[in-house]
Structure formats: structure tokens, C-alpha cells
Amino acid sequence: MEQESLPTEVILSHPRQTIGSLKLDWNPQPGTYLDVEGETYAVLERHHCYQYKRGKYRLHKIALYVQAAPRPEERSWFQGRWVLGNANCAYSAHSELVRCAVNPDGPCQGCRFFEPTAQ
């Protein structure tokens, strides 16, 4: 069964403005990246907008709140999802949005704060 393409409004978080409206055949989660009109954005929040029709609520559209961001080059697979940076470092935030507390801008390669996690 094919997923229906839903109207998706892409909204820049700061300054708050609509970047555009698209029809997507996938559901971007916070932490994923989206290309719109040649620019790359990180998805920060996803809101669902429902419509009541014929006695039922149905998903009408999705609003994505984004910020401009380059696609990260350093990612690690951690507990079933991609996270920024090296997930084997003790300082890793294990997040799709933040690399770590001591070196948030990276890179992890050659970082003087790198400390392997105890296993």
C-alpha cells in the first residue's frame, strides 16, 4: 500500500516565516534533514493538523518547523537511529540535533575531549 502524499507546510523557526508548501510521501521526524528550493533544513518540530469530516478526524496537513543547517558529515547509528557525532564518546548527547556538550560544533575526529564510553 502506497503512503498518501500529505500537504506539508515548511516554516522557518526564526524568524518565523513560511518557506513553502510541499507534498511529501514520507514523514520527516525531528532531527532529519529536508531540502527545499536548494537549501537544507533540519527539522525541529512536526505538528499534525486534523480536520473533522463525516464524523471522523483525519490528518489534513503537516507543519514542519525547521532551521537552516548543513547536513552533518559525522553520524553514528545508536539504538536504532542516527545521531550526530561519535556515539561511543562519553560526552555524546546521543541526539539528532546536538552533537555533545563540550564540542557541539565538532568535529569529533581529533577532538581533545574524546573519552570512550565504558562498556
> What is the residue extent of each domain of the chain?
6-68, 72-119
Verdict on whether the full-model pTM lies above 0.85: no
Please report the pLDDT score of residue 3 as a whole number: 55
Residue range 89-115: mean pLDDT, rounded: 85
**73-90 tens-digit pLDDT:** 788 888 888 888 888 888
Spatial CB neighbours of 1, under 8 Å, sequence gap ≥ 6: none
**Rounded-to-integer distance, Cα 32 and Cα 15, Å:** 20
Please report the pLDDT score of residue 50 as a whole number: 94
Please report the pLDDT score of residue 81 as a whole number: 81
